[in-house]
Structure 1
Amino acid sequence: MTLSIKDLKEQNLILLDTVSGSQAYGLSTPESDTDTRGVFILPQDLYFGFSYIEQVNSDRNDHTYYELGKYLKLLAKNNPSSIELLFAPQETVIYRHPLMEQIKPEHILSRLCRDSFAGYAMSQVKRAKGLNKKIFNPVSDVMPRPIECCHIVEGDRTVATEQWLSQHDFLAERCGLTALPHVRDGYALFYADDYEQGATCLNNWGRITGVRVKLNA
C-alpha cells in the first residue's frame, strides 16, 4: 500500500505542515512555486502492519512529509532539514498539531548540530568553488588520450611521453609496464629493442612519470 499527499490530507494524518524553499525565506519570484514540508502519522493499519512508509513526496519532490518516527530519528541526529522544521517561523506554519509542541528544542539540540550544520555549510562552499572552477576553467568536451596524461621524469624535470618517445626514436607499441614494489602507483617501463631493456617510471594519480635507466642487455 502507498500513501499520497492527498491521502495524508483527506485522512487528517498531517501533524506539521510548513511552507519551505524560496517562499519561506522571501527569495521567491513571480515564477516560483510553493514548496511545503512537514510531518505525518501513519494510520493504524499501516503502523501495526508490514507496510511502513517513512516518507511521502510529490511527483516533483516539492512537497515532502516525514513519518513521525522517521522525523524523530532525523532530529536525534540533528539533521539540518529536520532542525529547520523544528524552528519553522510561525508565519510559515500552515498547520501544527498540539502533539508537536511536545518536541522541545532543548531536548534535541546537541553538539551534533554543530557538526551537521557546519558540514552542510562546508559542502555548499565546496560545491560553489567547484562551480566557479567549471565556469572559469571549463573542461574540454574532447577527452584526452591516455598517453597525453603520461609524463616521463628525466633528472629534475618531466617530459611529455610522446615527446620523450620522439626524442629517443621509440615506438609506444614497444613499451611495456610492470608495477614497482613499495611505490604507490609506481611502474617500470620497459622498451623492447636490441640495445636496452627498459626505463623506470613512477605514476602519480594516473600519470606515468619516472627516471629512465639503462639496463645491460
Structure 2
Amino acid sequence: MERIEVEQRTILIGLAGSHGYGLNRPDSDFDYRGVFIAPKRYYLGFDRIEQKDTGWDEPGIFSFLNGNKDTVIYELRKILLLLAGANPNVLELLWLNNYPFVSAVGQHLINHKQLFLSKKVKHTYTGYAFAQIKKMETHRKWLLKPPQKKPIPSDFAIEDEAPLSKDELNAFLEYLYNLIRGRIEFLEEAEQLYKLLTADIDFKGVLKQYTLPDETLEYTQNLTNSRKDFIRLLQKSQNYQIALREWKAYLSWQENRNPARAEMERKSGFDLKHGMHCIRLLRSGVEILRQGEVIVDRRIAGDVEDLRAILKGEYSYEQVMKMAEDLVAEMEVVYEQSTLPHKPDLEEINKLCMELVEMQGWH
C-alpha cells in the first residue's frame, strides 16, 4: 500500500523510543509507531498487509513522518496479535504520553488497553531483556577477545564432505520442528507443560539458532529416520554456520558502530545501551505484574536518572548484571502474587477487532 493510503486509514500514531521513555537527547531519532485498518479487499479478498515500515519519502498526510526511517504503522490484526502476545515493543504503544495523531477509533483501542495485560509479560519482558544481555555478552567478548579469522569447515572437523548449507540446515530443522510440535500438541496439560506452552517461546528459532546437544542426537536420528553420519554432519555444520554468522556479525558491528557509542563501549567494557534497555525491560515487567499498568515514561516511573547513569557508564558490567539478576528474582515473586490473568481473553480481543473495523468503515 502507498503511504497516503495507509495514513488515510491510520487510527493512531505515537512517539515511542527514547522520547517515549524520557531518555532522549538533542540528537535522538524520532521513533513513530502507529496502527491503521486496511481497506475491505485486505479483509475479504486475497490481498495481505501486516505493516508499513518504508516509503516515508512518498507523498503523505502527516508531515512529521516525512523521510523518517524509524516509523512503523501496523495493520490492526497484526498489532492485536502482538498485543495479545504481550510484545514489549508494541504493548507500550497504548500507554504513551505523546500521540501526534489519534482518531476516535484509535482512542477506542486505547480505552481497551487493559485487555492485553496478562501474566505473559513475565516471559516476554524477561525474554527481551535476555536478548539485550546476549548482545551485551557478545559485544563484550568481541571487545575483550576479538575473533582473529574467518571460520572454515576444517575448524569443525568437516574434512571429507561439504558442510550443509544454511538452506539445507533450515529445511531439516523445519521438518524436525514439525515432528516435535506434533508430539507436544497432543500431550495432556500439566502444570509444567502449561508454563512451557504459554511462554511464547519461539521453539523454531531456538532450533535454528543453537547447535543440537550431544544428548539429543540419537533421539533426533530415530525421530527423523536419519543416518548417524548425517546427524553428526548436521551438528558440525550447525557449529560452522553459527561461527560464520558470528564472524559476519562481528565485521558488521565493527563497520557500523556509532563512534561515540563505540568509545563508551570501549571504556566501560560493555554496550551501555543494551545494558540500560535490559534493566528498563525487567523493571517494566515487574511494574506491570505488580501494578497492572505499563509505565513507559521512566520519568514517571522514577528511575530515569538511574537509567541515564547506566548510559553514562557509571555502573560496571558486573553491577548491571547483578541488577538484572535481582530483577529476575523479583519478577518470579511478583508473578506469583500478580492478579493479572494468566493469558488474555482472545474472544474479547476478537470482538474489539470487529468493533474497530466497523467503526472505521470501508470508505
Structure 1 residue runs of 4+, over 6 Å off?
A: 182-185
**Alpha-carbon distance in 2 for matches of 1:114, 1:183:** 30
Structure 1 counterpart SS, 2:72: strand
CA offsets 1:56-93 (integer angstroms, 9 cap, x no match): 1125851101111111111111111220112112xx21
The amino acid of 1:94's aligned partner reads: P
Q: Which residue of 1 aligns with 2:104?
A: 98
The amino acid of 1:98's aligned partner reads: A
Give the TM-score normalised by structure 2. 0.37
Distance 1:46 1:147, change over 3 A: closer
Query: How do 1:1-217 residues align onto structure 2 when only pairs under 5 Å count?
Result: 3-9=1-7, 12-59=8-55, 61-89=69-97, 92-103=98-109, 104-141=112-149, 143=151, 146=154
The amino acid of 2:76's aligned partner reads: L
**Alpha-carbon distance in 2 for matches of 1:43, 1:49:** 10
Higher radius of gyration, 1 or 2: 1
Please list every run of 5 or more consecutive structure 2 residues that lacks an aligned counterpart in the other structure. Answer: 56-67, 158-213, 218-234, 237-363
The Cα shift of 1:43 comes to: 1.7
Identity score, percent: 30
Aligned length: 151
Name the structure with the higher helix share: 2
The Cα shift of 1:107 comes to: 1.5
**Alpha-carbon distance in 2 for matches of 1:4, 1:20:** 23
The Cα shift of 1:147 comes to: 7.1
Distance 1:97 1:145, change over 3 A: closer
Q: Which residue of 1 aligns with 2:201?
A: none
**Alpha-carbon distance in 2 for matches of 1:74, 1:184:** 32
Name the structure with the higher strand share: 1
Higher relative contact order (CA 8 A, sep 6+): 2
Q: Is the 8 A contact 1:4 1:58 kept in 2?
A: no
Aligned-residue Cα RMSD (Å) equals: 3.2
Please list every run of 5 or more consecutive structure 1 residues that lacks an aligned counterpart in the other structure. Answer: 150-181, 186-204, 207-217
